[in-house]
Chains A and B, each alone.
Chain A
Amino acid sequence: MNGHVTIRLASERVNHCVASSNELPRFYTPGEVISGMQDFMRGHGTYVEDDCIKSSVAGVMQKVNKLICVRPLKSRYVGEIGDVVVGRVLEVQQKRWKIETNSRLDSILQLSSVNLPGGELRRRSAEDEQMMRKHLQEGDLISAEVQSVFSDGSLSLHTRSLKYGKLSQGVLMKVFPSLIKRRKNHFHNLPCGIAIIIGNNGFIWMSPMQRNVIIGENKDEIQNYEHQPINKSDREIMARLKNCVAALVAAKMMLDDSSIMFAYEESLRYDDVKELLDPEVMLDIAFLTQHRLNSIMEE
C-alpha cells in the first residue's frame, strides 16, 4: 500500500455548515413547556402533563390551526400513504414479504399487491405462493409505494406499477429521511445517464438508465440485461453522484433531483472521483450548490 493517507487533527476538522444562519427559529427541547392546555391540541412530539403541553423531542414547533407538533431534526422514517420507498427484503413468509424500510417496524408487501409476470388480471394460485422466493428473495432490493399504514404504524407496500419492483444493479445510499424533499416525482432520469430513485425513507438508489428495454419483449432478454456488466464510465458517474450526495448530506442540505444535479455539475471541476471525499472539497461542492439553489430561488 502506498496510497496517500491523510489523518488530520481534530482541531482542523471542517465545519460542514453552509446555511446562512441569520435567523434561527425557536427550538424546543424535551420537557420544555410549550403552552397551556387551553385552546390547543397536542400532536406528535408533544405530551400533556400538569395541564401544560410539553415537548418530548428536540426540534422546531409546527402549528396547524389548534394542533401543535414538534418535529425532531432526525428520526426514523414515518410513512405516509403514497410515499415512494426503497427497501430490502428481510423474510419470505406465507403470502407476504417482510421489508426493511428504515421504519420503526418492518413493512409488509402482500403477495396480492405485487404484479406477477404475465399480466395484471391473473388469479393467484397456490403455485404462486410456492414461487414467492423465486420472485423476491431475502436480501433483494425493491422500490415500492406505501399503500396503507396500519394502526400500529407499520407500513403496507405495493408494487402494482411498472415503475416499481425489484432493483438489479446499482448503488444504494442511506441518508436521514428528514433530508429528503417531498416531491411529486421521486423517479428521475438525470442528464448524466443515471436513473435515480430518491426514496422518502432516506434510501437513494442509483442505477444506469435502462436504454433499450422494450416492455413486452421476451423475458429471457430482460433477465440477461439485468446481468450485463455495466461499463466503466457509468460506474464512475455513479460513484461521483454518490460522493456528491454524501457532500450534500454532510452539509445537511435537502435532497431532490435539482440539488443532486447541481452538485454533480459542480463536482465536474474535480477530475478524480475520489478527490470528492476530501472534507474541503465536499464543503466546496455543498457551498456552490447552495449558491446555485439560492440564485434560482431569487429568480
Chain B
Amino acid sequence: MPPPDLLSSQGLRLDGRRPNELRRIRCKLGVFTQPDGSAYLEQGNTKVLAAVYGPHQAAKSKSSVEGVVVNCQYSMATFSTGERKNRPRGDRKSQEMSLHLRQALTAAIKTELYPRSQIDIYIEVLQADGGAYCASVNAATLALVDAGVPLRAYACACSASMAWRGAQPEPLLDVGHVEEAAGGVVLTVASLPSTGSIALLELSHRLHSDYFEMVLSRAMQGCKDIEIVLDKAVREHLAEGWTKQDVVTI
C-alpha cells in the first residue's frame, strides 16, 4: 500500500491538484520546418519534442507489403533528469520506451494504406518530471497529425495511481515525479479515447484487483480529457495555417 500522505486531509495532492485533475498541458504543432511533422508538448514540467519523417520509402530490409513500418526512437536529453544522464538513447529503458511507443502509435495509424513505406518518429524528452511516456505519446500524436498521416483517432496516454483518503481509496490522475518516487503503483494507459480501445496498458507494481477497475477508469477519463486538449490545439493550428486560396477548390 502506498504511503497515506499522498493526499492531504483536504483531499489535495502534493502539488496542490485534486485527485482527478490533469497537469497543465501546453502544446504547439509545426515547431520545425525540416521534418514532415513536429510538435512540442508540456505536461506540467515534463517537456517533450516530437518529429515525424515520412511516410517515405522503406529500407529494403524493413519493407513490408502489408503496411507502413513505424519506427520510433525515444531519447532523453542528458539534462532532462535531476541527475545527469550518460546515454541519451540506446540504453535498456529507452529501447523499451521506443517499443511501447511503437505499439501505441501503430494502433492509431492507418498502416494498411501505405505499403512499402516507413514512418520515423523521433521523441526527445527535454525535461522529465514523471509521465514522460504519456507526454511522448501525446506529442507524437500531434506530430503525426501535423504531418498529415491518416489516423483512426487521436492516441492519448495517461497515468493513474492509488492513494487513500482516510479509509476511502482514491485514484490519482496524471502522476508526477514526486508521486512516482513515493513508491505507489502507477498504471499507464495508451488508448484511442474516441473509440474506447486500449493500445497499451502497463502496471508498475502489484495492485489489488478490487481497485484495478477504479484506477483504470480514472486513467481512461484522463485520456478523454487529454484528447479534448489535443483536439483544441489541432484546430487552432489549422485556423492559423489555413490559406484562403483553398476555398477556390471547394
- Are A27 and B148 in contact, CB atoms less than 8 angstroms apart? no
Interface membership of B13, Cβ < 8 A: no
Contact partner, B110, options A21, A56, A72, A179, Cβ 8 Å: A56
Segment at the A interface, from B85-93, B127-135, B168-176, B233-241: B233-241
Q: B57: which A residues are within 8 A, CB to CB?
A: 104-106
Q: How far is the CA of A24 from the CA of B244 in the complex (A)?
A: 9
A153 to B113, CA, bound (A): 10
B150→A57 contact, CB < 8 A: yes
- Chain B CB within 10 A, most for which of A24, A29, A73, A181: A73
Confirm or deny: A3 has a beta carbon within 8 angstroms of a beta carbon on chain B: no
Check if B245 sits within 8 Å of A254, measured CB to CB: yes
Does B55 sit at the interface, judged by CB under 8 A?
A: yes
In the bound complex, what is the Cα–Cα distance between A187 and B47 (angstroms)? 45
B238 pairs with A57, CB closer than 8 A: no
Is A58 within 8 A of B239, CB to CB? no
CB 8 Å contact bits of A150-179 with B (1 = contact, 0 = none): 001100000000000000000000000001
- Told that A57-B151, A181-B245 touch, could you supply 11 new A-B pairs with CB distance under 8 A? A17-B240, A19-B243, A29-B154, A49-B195, A57-B150, A73-B237, A75-B149, A76-B148, A104-B57, A105-B116, A152-B116
Binding site for B on A (CB under 8 A): 17, 19-21, 24-25, 27, 29-31, 45, 47, 49, 56-60, 62-63, 71-76, 104-106, 152-153, 179, 181, 252-254
B residues contacting A by CB (< 8 A) are 36-37, 54-57, 110, 114-117, 145-154, 192, 194-195, 231, 234-235, 237-247, 249-250
Can you list 12 A-B contacts (CB < 8 A)? A27-B235, A56-B110, A57-B150, A60-B242, A72-B148, A73-B148, A74-B36, A75-B147, A75-B149, A76-B55, A179-B243, A252-B243
